[in-house]
């Protein structure tokens, strides 16, 4: 059987994946690397670091190619004062042959092929220290099955688009994510749907609509200020 997932080139020269069954890409076709750097690093991680936080627990929905994790690992290397732990979910891991054809490490200064491979090769369900101030734990489960006693400081909500995977954007799962966030925690996503903004506000997040990455007018950031409205 041929895999329904194949590599595509995006406009900034970085790769993404196309899932034929869903007719959906893993990143913006206007630039996968540019989108990840802008949505998750600049509008997410940078905000916490600018606030002076040094111990940062990140929760990602959708590990996929590992691009966001790789960018965070590179960030941690440049910022040795930080201690970052990265928790990610992926119920549909990529095949090793597909991973072997991904070349993000060649586009990101400061990370090696070994760094990229280690993200994918490390065990599931186990926290591993991949560099002195960056640890990773990957869970091979869908968001609906995830439970944790940890509180997270930053959420990368990188699910497929609401038109392709609507259940991921329903209030039941958003509420679950919100419950995992510490007060002051930041939620970022490439999506800017009105219903998402209303739902996040109802869950006690202060919602901002920010300019989007290339090819997208807007994106959403939310900061957890309180518990769910009674």
Ligand X SMILES: C[S@@+](CC[C@H](N)C(=O)[O-])C[C@H]1O[C@@H](n2cnc3c(N)ncnc32)[C@H](O)[C@@H]1O
Q: Is 10 in the site for ligand X (CB under 6 A)?
A: no
Closest separation in Å from C-beta 176 to ligand X: 11
Q: Provide CB contacts within 8 A for 118, sequence distance 6+.
A: 130
Nearer to ligand X, 92 or 124 (CB): 92
**Binders of ligand X in range 77-106 (CB under 6 A):** 89-92
**Binders of ligand X in range 46-65 (CB under 6 A):** 61-65
Token output for 111: 């990370």
Nearer to ligand X, 33 or 48 (CB): 33
Burial 192-206, CB ≥16 within 10 A → b, else e: beeebbebbeebbbe
Q: Is 26 in the site for ligand X (CB under 6 A)?
A: yes
Bridge partners, residue 131, by sequence:
134
Closest separation in Å from C-beta 225 to ligand X: 25
User: Of residues 159, 177, 181, 205, which one binds ligand X by CB under 6 A?
Assistant: 159
User: Of residues 33, 67, 174, 191, which one binds ligand X by CB under 6 A?
Assistant: 67
Q: Is 18 in the site for ligand X (CB under 6 A)?
A: no
Token output for 207: 């919602």
Question: Per-residue DSSP letters for 77-120?
Answer: HH-TT-EEEEEEE-SSPPPHHHHHT--HHHHSTT--HHHHHHHH
Distance from chain centroid for Cα 205 = 18
Q: Is 70 in the site for ligand X (CB under 6 A)?
A: no
Work out the end-to-end distance of the chain between its first and last CA atoms, rounded to an integer number of angstroms: 50
Q: Is 160 in the site for ligand X (CB under 6 A)?
A: yes
Nearer to ligand X, 120 or 197 (CB): 120
User: Of residues 45, 143, 188, 196, which one binds ligand X by CB under 6 A?
Assistant: 143
Bridge partners, residue 152, by sequence:
181
Binding interface with ligand X (CB under 6 A): 26, 36, 61-65, 67-68, 89-92, 142-143, 158-160
């Amino acid at each position: 059987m041929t895999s329904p997932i194949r590599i595509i080139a995006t406009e900034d020269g970085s790769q993404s994946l196309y899932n034929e069954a869903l007719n959906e890409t893993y990143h913006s076709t206007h630039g996968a690397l540019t989108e990840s750097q802008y949505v998750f690093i600049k509008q997410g991680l940078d905000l916490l670091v600018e606030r002076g936080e040094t111990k940062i627990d990140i929760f990602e929905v959708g590990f996929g190619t590992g691009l966001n994790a790789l960018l965070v690992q590179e960030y941690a290397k440049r910022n040795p004062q930080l201690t970052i732990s990265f928790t990610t979910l992926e119920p549909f891991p990529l095949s090793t042959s597909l991973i072997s054809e991904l070349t993000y490490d060649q586009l990101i200064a400061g990370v090696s092929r070994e760094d990229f491979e280690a993200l994918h090769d490390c065990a599931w369900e186990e926290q591993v220290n991949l560099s002195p101030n960056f640890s990773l734990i990957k869970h091979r489960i869908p968001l609906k099955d995830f439970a944790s006693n940890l509180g997270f400081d930053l959420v990368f909500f990188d699910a497929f688009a609401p038109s392709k995977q609507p259940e991921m954007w329903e209030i039941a799962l958003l509420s679950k994510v919100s419950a995992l966030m510490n007060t002051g925690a930041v939620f970022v996503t490439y999506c800017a749907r009105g219903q998402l903004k209303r739902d996040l506000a109802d869950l006690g997040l202060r919602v901002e609509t920010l300019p989007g990455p290339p090819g997208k007018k807007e994106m959403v950031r939310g900061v957890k200020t309180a518990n769910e409205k009674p």
